[in-house]
Amino acid sequence: MVSLPRRLGKAGRRWLLLFHRWAGIAAGLFFALWIGSGLVMLSVPFPALTEAERLSRLAPIAWDQVAVAPDAALRAGGLAGVPAAFGLEMRGDEPVYRIAGHDGTRVTVSARTGARLGPLTPADALRVAAGGAPAAQAEQVARDQWTVTARYDPLRPFLKVALGDAAGTELYVSAVTGEIALDTTRFERGWNWVGSVAHWIYLTPLRARPELWRTILLWLSGFAALGALSGGAIGIWRLRLRRRYAAGAVTPYRGLARWHHLLGLAGGLGLSTFIVSGWISMNPNRWFSATSPPVALRAAYAGIPPALGLDPHRLRDGAVPDTRILRFAAIGGRWWIVAETADGLRTVAADGATALDARSIATAAADGFADGPLRSIRPLYAYDAYWYPHGADPRPLPVLRLRFGDAAATWLHVDPRDGTILQRLDRSGRINRWLFDAAHRLDLPGLTGNRPLHDTAQWVLNLLAAGIAVTGIVAGWRRLRRTLSA
């Protein structure tokens, strides 16, 4: 008589085989989709307007036309409290103040007249983005494939300006503020349909509903992860290195199934890691905190500074040659002037006192962070395991790492040049760095600073995973066809 544990073990193995077989049939195409699109994403990221691109499209500030003081612009903007962002730049041929509230509200005030500027017309957008180019065309877009995420909500609707150039460039100009929020080219749009859009299932009707999109991705990737893990378990169980099968084989399978088994042994760990870490990227059960600093932290860090008290005709004194943006940053209850050019930036105190330094940043952070005391501040002059470049995001150096003694063991990474909080990283974020960034993106020490080696490792692991997916799809299709025809 067969014992109960043996019967249960035999039944468990049978159900494991059945689950993997049918999970593979159901999810195999998604495995192939994710692998292929992920390889495309290595070379063509999702369209975004980088800071360097944004600065290059701005004209140097026309100082002789600036007749309105920053304090007057703030009053005209009508936003309550200290703004989240406040700066002077050009909109076409007119200098303007751009003001953003902590609630996302955006306001644009003319630096020439002091008037609060209304929505842009298509003609305005053509003038701002295309400089009157004869082939350019503008159309209004509320939300499309490339502006689907919520971060664009304060800037909607857009006027999409097609420049009519050889690259097929399209610029998205916010009808609310008149700023260029995004640029795309025909090359980027085409490859992203088989890259990021396919990888993230970034279809506009679905992605426009963030929670629905997140729920579907969680369940889909979770089911796929179970399929991959079950295959790994079966692959190890069916492998024999000592008491081999007939003719000295290490696998009991033949033909295509043999290849699926052997490829699974070689690349199954990589495939399972990619799929499980992809599921983790959807932040199941909200385990991981966001790395962007919350509104309350940014507001406390800014403090409540007095009026700027700057004469509009003296603003140029805080600038440098070829200044494209003059930002007014509130840090620790004081105003600082940040002059941005296409090549860098310079920060000075608005009250003429000493320049921004690590001590001023540390004091503002310590006063603004209520959850725990500031334990240490350390300048980083080289990348390390928690501050490193990824893809097209180089991340600046040096940065300041501020460690706090709160329950979540929070770190802040701050740009010492202008005091911008670049990243909030608590204990959960540092765990997520290894579970997702390291496992899914291969952001590992030794690889992050070596793009050729990093991409080679990605290609090797993904091609092995592709072999598993393709052999599984073909075997699954044959099995399904036999089942349906029986």
Does some domain include residue 68?
Answer: yes
pLDDT band at 2 (very low <50, low <70, confident <90, very high): low
> According to the model, what pLDDT value does residue 422 have?
94
Lowest mean pLDDT among 81-95, 109-123, 358-372: 358-372
pLDDT band at 146 (very low <50, low <70, confident <90, very high): very high
Q: What are 19-32's pLDDT values in tens digits?
A: 888 888 888 889 99
State pTM to two decimals: 0.89
pLDDT band at 315 (very low <50, low <70, confident <90, very high): confident
Q: At a CB cut-off of 8 Å and minimum separation 6, what does 482 contact?
A: none
> According to the model, what pLDDT value does residue 132 have?
67
Asked if residue 351 has pLDDT above 80, the reply is: no
- Do residues 262 and 308 both lie within one domain? no
CA distance 180 to 194: 26
Asked if residue 160 has pLDDT above 90, the reply is: yes
- HEC string of 182-236? EEECHHHHHHHHCCHHHHHCCCHHHHCCHHHHHHHHHHHHHHHHHHHHHHHHHHH
- Do residues 283 and 304 both lie within one domain? no
> What is the SS3 assignment for 174?
strand
> According to the model, what pLDDT value does residue 1 have?
53
Mind giving me the DSSP string for 311-343?
Answer: -GGGGGGG--TT--EEEEEEETTEEEEEEEETT
Q: How many domains does the chain have?
A: 3
> According to the model, what pLDDT value does residue 395 have?
87
| Domain boundaries, position 159 | 51-194
Asked if residue 221 has pLDDT above 90, the reply is: yes
**Dihedral, CA of residue 142, residue 146, residue 151 and residue 157, to nearest 10:** -20
- Do residues 280 and 392 both lie within one domain? no
b or e along 325-354 (b: 16 or more beta carbons within 10 Å of the residue's beta carbon)? bbbbbbbbbbbbbbbbbeeebbbbbbeeee
- Do residues 85 and 175 both lie within one domain? yes
Other residues' Cβ atoms within 10 Å of the Cβ of residue 33? 16
Does some domain include residue 372?
Answer: yes
Asked if residue 113 has pLDDT above 70, the reply is: yes
Q: What's the distance, CA 2 to chain centroid?
A: 56
Alpha-carbon Rg for the chain in angstroms: 28
CA distance 298 to 62: 31
> According to the model, what pLDDT value does residue 235 have?
87
- Do residues 161 and 58 both lie within one domain? yes
- Do residues 308 and 398 both lie within one domain? yes
Q: How far is CA 255 from CA 27, 271, 282, 425, in A?
A: 22, 22, 37, 49
Q: At a CB cut-off of 8 Å and minimum separation 6, what does 417 contact?
A: 338, 345, 346, 347, 356, 396
Asked if residue 208 has pLDDT above 70, the reply is: yes
Asked if residue 247 has pLDDT above 90, the reply is: no
User: Any alpha helices (H) in 238-325, and if so which ranges?
Assistant: 255-281, 295-302
- Do residues 215 and 254 both lie within one domain? yes
Q: What are 425-452's pLDDT values in tens digits?
A: 999 999 999 999 999 999 998 888 788 8
Does some domain include residue 5?
Answer: no
Single residue among 425, 443, 477 that ends a domain in this structure: 425
Mean per-residue pLDDT for 387-391? 84
- Do residues 300 and 418 both lie within one domain? yes
> According to the model, what pLDDT value does residue 317 have?
79
- Do residues 155 and 235 both lie within one domain? no
> What is the SS3 assignment for 295?
helix
Q: What are 37-67's pLDDT values in tens digits?
A: 999 999 999 999 988 889 888 999 999 999 9
Mind giving me the DSSP string for 371-426?
Answer: SS-EEEEEEESS--SSS--BTTB---SSEEEEEE-STT--EEEE-TTT--EEEEE-
> According to the model, what pLDDT value does residue 474 have?
87
Single residue among 194, 229, 257 that ends a domain in this structure: 194
The strand pair at 170-174 and 334-341 is best described as unpaired
- Do residues 84 and 166 both lie within one domain? yes
- Do residues 278 and 261 both lie within one domain? yes
Q: Rounded mean pLDDT of the chain?
A: 89
Single residue among 425, 440, 464 that ends a domain in this structure: 425
Other residues' Cβ atoms within 10 Å of the Cβ of residue 15? 11
Asked if residue 353 has pLDDT above 70, the reply is: no
- Do residues 270 and 341 both lie within one domain? no
Does some domain include residue 430?
Answer: no
CA distance 419 to 329: 8
